[in-house]
């Protein structure tokens, strides 16, 4: 019976994710009806986190993935990345101008999608602002001494938004938000390790692009994941859902990133 419930849960998650993908494509197609090459979605880890603990709100999931997708369009230009998800980066086929403008469209649609949810919209604005500030500080100021803090601020905010989007009360919202920040930090550290140690010939995106090299280890990343779950110990149902998300979605994704690390 438990396996049957788990299978049904997985099917429900995939139906949710497919619906989010379709929603994003519909929104972009409505704004750009004469343009057919919409970038493909990736692992959808943030949308899956919304499904796991964020209230299963499709608008929140689509908004956070739009924000993330827009940031990748811009990041590939900034980093001179020529490969994304196994295909030529968008700017390589449509130019830097096209990628910047489509990224801006992603940001606009993410905020527009939450028009009827002012608190959620404000949260996304706050989180997106944090990402922008950290990225600008890294590019313009270096700030290598603040590596871990910048890793938290670059990638943590959108995971924090996804985690807390459907929180039932103030206390659990704060805990979910911090758990999301910890998870996003772990993801950024793993991604930086991948940039430094991944096999260029087999990678599905451009490597050796990061200016700041990760001082973190696989053990640091594992500790952050464990701490993220511990933040939810006062809410056993949320903690179980979080741990299942870690096991089924998050940890397999970062294992790919860290497989070439020496420690």
Query: Per DSSP, what are the bridge partners of residue 87?
Result: 84
Q: Is residue 153 part of a domain?
A: yes
Closest CA relative to residue 24, chosen from 46, 43, 40: 40
- The most distant pair of C-alpha atoms in the chain lies apart, rounded to whole Å, by 56
CA distance 182 to 155: 9
How many Cβ atoms from other residues are within 10 Å of residue 262's Cβ?
Answer: 7
Q: Is the dihedral angle over the CA atoms 202, 248, 254, 173 positive or is it negative?
A: positive
CB 39, CB 69: distance < 8 Å: yes
Q: Is residue 134 part of a domain?
A: yes
Per-residue confidence in pLDDT tens, the chain, 263 aa: 445 556 557 899 999 999 999 999 999 999 999 887 777 778 999 999 999 998 999 999 999 999 999 999 999 999 999 888 878 899 999 999 999 999 999 999 999 999 999 999 999 999 999 999 999 998 888 766 688 999 999 999 999 999 999 999 999 999 999 999 999 999 999 998 988 776 666 666 766 566 556 667 899 999 999 999 999 999 999 999 999 999 999 999 999 988 865 54
**pLDDT confidence of residue 46:** 98
Domain holding 242: CATH number? 1.10.600.10
Q: Is residue 41 part of a domain?
A: yes
Total domains, the chain: 1
Burial class (CB in 10 A: 0-12, 13-18, 19+), 91: buried
Query: Residue 84: enclosing H or E segment and its boundaries?
Result: strand 83-84
Q: Is residue 163 part of a domain?
A: yes
Q: Is residue 17 part of a domain?
A: yes
CA distance 106 to 130: 17
CA distance 158 to 174: 14
Which residues constitute the domain of residue 161?
A: 2-258
Long-range contacts of residues 113-120, Cβ cutoff 8 Å, at least 24 apart: 113/27, 113/59, 113/62, 113/63, 113/66, 114/59, 114/60, 114/63, 117/59, 117/60, 120/60, 120/63, 120/165
Q: Is residue 263 part of a domain?
A: no
Q: How many Cα atoms within 13 Å fall on the side-chain side of residue 47? A: 27
- Give pTM, 2 decimals: 0.92
Burial class (CB in 10 A: 0-12, 13-18, 19+), 52: buried
Q: How many Cα atoms within 13 Å fall on the side-chain side of residue 8? A: 5
CA distance 197 to 210: 12
């Amino acid at each position: 019976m438990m396996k049957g419930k788990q299978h049904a849960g997985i099917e429900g998650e995939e139906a949710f994710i497919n619906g989010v993908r379709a929603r994003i494509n519909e929104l972009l197609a409505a704004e750009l009806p004469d343009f057919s090459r919409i970038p493909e979605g990736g692992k959808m880890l943030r949308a899956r986190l919304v499904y796991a603990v964020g209230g299963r709100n499709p608008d929140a999931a689509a908004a956070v993935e739009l924000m993330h997708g827009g940031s990748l369009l811009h990041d590939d230009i900034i980093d001179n990345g020529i490969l994304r998800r196994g295909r030529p980066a968008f700017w390589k086929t449509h130019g830097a101008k096209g990628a910047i403008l489509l990224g801006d469209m992603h940001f606009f649609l993410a905020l527009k999608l939450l028009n009827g949810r002012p608190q959620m919209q404000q949260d996304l604005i706050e989180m997106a602002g944090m990402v922008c500030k950290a990225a600008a500080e890294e590019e313009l100021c270096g700030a290598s001494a603040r590596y871990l803090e910048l890793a938290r601020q670059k990638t943590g905010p959108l995971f924090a938004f996804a985690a807390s989007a459907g929180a039932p009360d103030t206390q659990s919202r704060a805990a979910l938000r911090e758990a999301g920040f910890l998870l996003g930090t772990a993801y950024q550290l793993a991604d930086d390790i991948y940039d430094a140690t991944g096999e260029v010939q087999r990678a599905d995106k451009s490597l050796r692009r990061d200016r700041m090299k990760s001082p973190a280890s696989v053990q640091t990343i594992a500790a952050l994941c464990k701490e993220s779950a511990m933040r939810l110990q006062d809410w056993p149902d949320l903690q179980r859902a979080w741990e299942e998300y870690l096991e089924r979605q998050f940890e397999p994704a970062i294992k790919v990133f860290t497989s070439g690390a020496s420690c």
